[in-house]
Amino acid sequence: MNSKIAFITGATSGFGRASARRFAQAGWALVLSGRREKRLQALAQELRALVPVHTAILDVRDAEAVKAVVEALPQGFRAITCLVNNAGLALAPEPAQEVDLNDWHTMIDTNIKGLVNVTHALLPTLIESGEGASIVNIGSIAGQWPYRGSHVYGASKAFVKQFSYNLRCDLAGTGVRVTDIAPGMAETEFTLVRTKGDQGASDALYQGTVPLSAEDIAEQIFYVATLPAHININRLEVMPTRQSWAGFAIERD
Ligand code: NDP
Ligand code: 8X3
């Protein structure tokens, strides 16, 4: 594996944008994707001072569009060596019984089907890249630990964890590594999206504590993708020091 090219989904914000910057600092060429064109172009303009950058306006829920973007990758951006499956979201922080079904569908379509769409389209390329290539899937602590209001979001991230493990089985012998990175609370636009634009709720969540930053997680993504080729981190769960478990809820009379 000579070239170093990362394909990052959801590069317009949060972990995706920070990891684009981290890989660029280390000289990786980048394929950056997301739906918000202006943000994507601004990031590309910034990073082209360091490395070659190709952008693709892409909604990962659209399997045909994903396939078309991969097929149309220009020469110099085709031999992807690291896929960062980062695009995703939580919606509907309310309890399951109050949720709008469309919100559940959007999470399933993005966090599960979108991740699967991109993985499927890039697997042949990653296998061709072989030893040292990697797939870094962004799961969540919500995929492991239950909490109120996590319902389909947490379940979608449990899918990411098990899909990552299962991919490892099928990719045995190809040299392609797979990691599920499971962050805890991190201050990005995540809560703004989850609350459909409630900046006050987002600020309140992160106030008075020390959440992870997008850069913290970008460093972990870069770390697992640049370990020696014989090392595969299966799952990396990362919380802020000031976040831990709250225990079981008990109903009392
Ligand atoms: P942000 O909201 O800051 O970033 C989310 C990114 O996903 C954006 O770039 C957005 O781009 C992209 N995205 C969302 N939907 C789609 C879509 N349909 N097609 C393509 N891109 C899409 O949040 P984070 O950076 O925090 O989230 C990144 C990942 O990390 C998500 O998978 C999230 O579930 C996970 N995560 C976040 C945690 C946190 O506390 N922040 C903790 C654990 C996991 P655009 O809107 O331009 O398409
Ligand atoms: C997002 C982190 O703590 O809201 O995946 O579940 S948390």
ipTM: 0.98
Q: Which of 171, 165, 162, 141 is nearest to 153 (CA)?
A: 141
In this predicted structure, what is the pLDDT of residue 128? 98
Low-confidence ranges of the chain (pLDDT < 70): 1-2
Which of 9, 13, 39 to probe ligand 1 with, by most ligand atoms within 8 A of CB? 13
Furthest C-alpha separation in the chain: 68
Pocket of ligand 1 from Cβ distances under 6 Å: 9-10, 12-16, 34-36, 58-61, 86-90, 110, 114, 138, 140, 183, 185-186, 188-190, 193
Measure Cα distances from 193 to 58, 80, 221, 223 in Å: 18, 30, 22, 27
Cβ-contact 190, 14 below 8 angstroms: yes
Q: Which pLDDT score is estimated for 15? A: 99
**141 Cβ below 6 A of ligand 2:** yes
Residues 6+ apart with CB under 8 A from 116: 163
CA 109 to centroid of chain Cα atoms: 14
Q: What tens digit of pLDDT does each residue of 130-158 get?
A: 999 999 999 999 999 999 999 999 999 99
Question: Could you tell me the two tokens for 8?
Answer: 């990052």
Query: Distance (Å, rounded) from C-alpha 211 to C-alpha 8?
Result: 23
Catalytic residues: 153
From the CB of 185, is ligand 2 less than 6 Å away? Answer: yes
Distance (Å, whole) CA 198 – CA 220: 29
CB 178 within 8 A of CB 233: no
The number of the ligand nearest the C-alpha atom of 8 reads 1
